[in-house]
Structure formats: C-alpha cells, structure tokens
Chains A and B, each alone.
Chain A
Amino acid sequence: MPVRIKVREHPELMERFGANWTPTILVLDPDGVERHRIEGFLPADDFAAQLVLGLGHMAFARGDYAEAERRFDEELRDYPATDSAPEAQYWKGVARYKRTGNAAELTATYRAFQERYGNTPWAKKASVWAPTAA
C-alpha cells in the first residue's frame, strides 16, 4: 500500500518514523513495523531491487523462510547488476539454512560468493562459512 508524505506539510511524521532526509522510503509490515529503509535517490532498477529485498526481509522476520528465499532469489534473477544483489545472495543463503537447518547451505553460499560478488562487504560476511580443513 503506497503512502506519500509531503514532509513540508507533515514534518512531525519525519520525527515519528525517524526519517532525517528525503527521499526516504520505508517498507513496513502489516503491523506497521519497519522492515527495510531506503535513503537517498536510486535509479529505477536499484530502487525496484531494494523493494524486493524489503519484501524478503519482511518474510524472513515473520519466519516465512521459503517466501524470503523466493524474494531474495527474485532479486538475484531480475536485478543481478544492482548494488543490493550481493545482500540478496547472502540472505538467500541464510533463509535457505533457516528453512532446512542444513549448514551446508551456508557453505554453498560462501562458494557462491567465490563465483559472483566476491569483492563486496557481503562476501566478507559469508567468508566465515568457508569450509574448514578436516
């Protein structure tokens, strides 16, 4: 449900939602809890990718890991060149691990970062999942 706030008319809403700059976009779950935040302008593809990422985080937060994985995969498939794609790859692995309980999914995510998005902060986060020598 899209809601646009004209900040010049409603500055009090910026304080209420902790928004300090425009544009700021918040993705709220049906209970009004913030699940994702975008601050500053983004080109169309990056913006769309961030919205999909937000839906993934929303599903993850409610424990619907299958839906979260589907959303993160959607971002990777539809917006692979965006800055948020590595984040989607990271969280896709986490969602799959949470869904299956199989730690091998985290190792697979580490390996995925060896193939793509290796020079990103999310690859550093996934580096802890590197397989250890026996």
Chain B
Amino acid sequence: MAIDWKTDVDAALAEAKASGRPVLLDFSAAPM
C-alpha cells in the first residue's frame, strides 16, 4: 500500500488540528 507522504510540516500540523488526526513525523536521510 502506497503511503501519501506529506512534506509541508506546518500545513500538515494545521490539517491535523482541524481534523483531529494524529501526525506521524518521519525524519529521513534516505534518498526519496
């Protein structure tokens, strides 16, 4: 299953707050 990773942290935090959803924040050094 493909994961729809978001990349804009502040936009994601705002969306999470508005929707009441938790956030999974992945700090990665791997090439993407």
State the Cβ distance, A24 to closest chain B Cβ, in Å: 4
A interface, how many residues as a size bin?
20 to 34
Q: Please, how many angstroms separate the alpha-carbon atoms of A58 and B23 in the complex?
A: 11
6 interchain residue pairs of minimum CB distance? A28-B23, A26-B25, A22-B29, A4-B5, A24-B27, A3-B12
Does A103 count as interface, using CB distance less than 8 angstroms? no
Q: Assuming A17-B25, A27-B24, is B6 touching A4 (CB within 8 A)?
A: yes
Q: Report if A3-B6 is in contact (Cβ < 8 Å); known contacts: A25-B25, A27-B23.
A: yes
Instruction: Give how many A-B residue pairs fall within 8 Å (CB-CB).
Output: 98
Surface stretch bound by B, among A7-15, A93-101, A106-114: A7-15
Q: Which residues of B contact A (CB under 8 A)?
A: 3-9, 12-13, 15-17, 19-30, 32
Main secondary structure of the interface of B (DSSP, over half): mixed
Which of A2, A7, A27 is close to B5, meaning CB atoms less than 8 Å apart?
A2
Contact A2 B6, beta carbon cutoff 8 Å: yes
CB-contact partner of A3 in B17, B23, B32, under 8 A = B23
With a 10 A CB-CB cut-off, give which of A5, A8, A17, A27 has the most chain B CB atoms. Answer: A5
Contact of A1 with B23 in the complex, beta carbons under 8 Å = yes
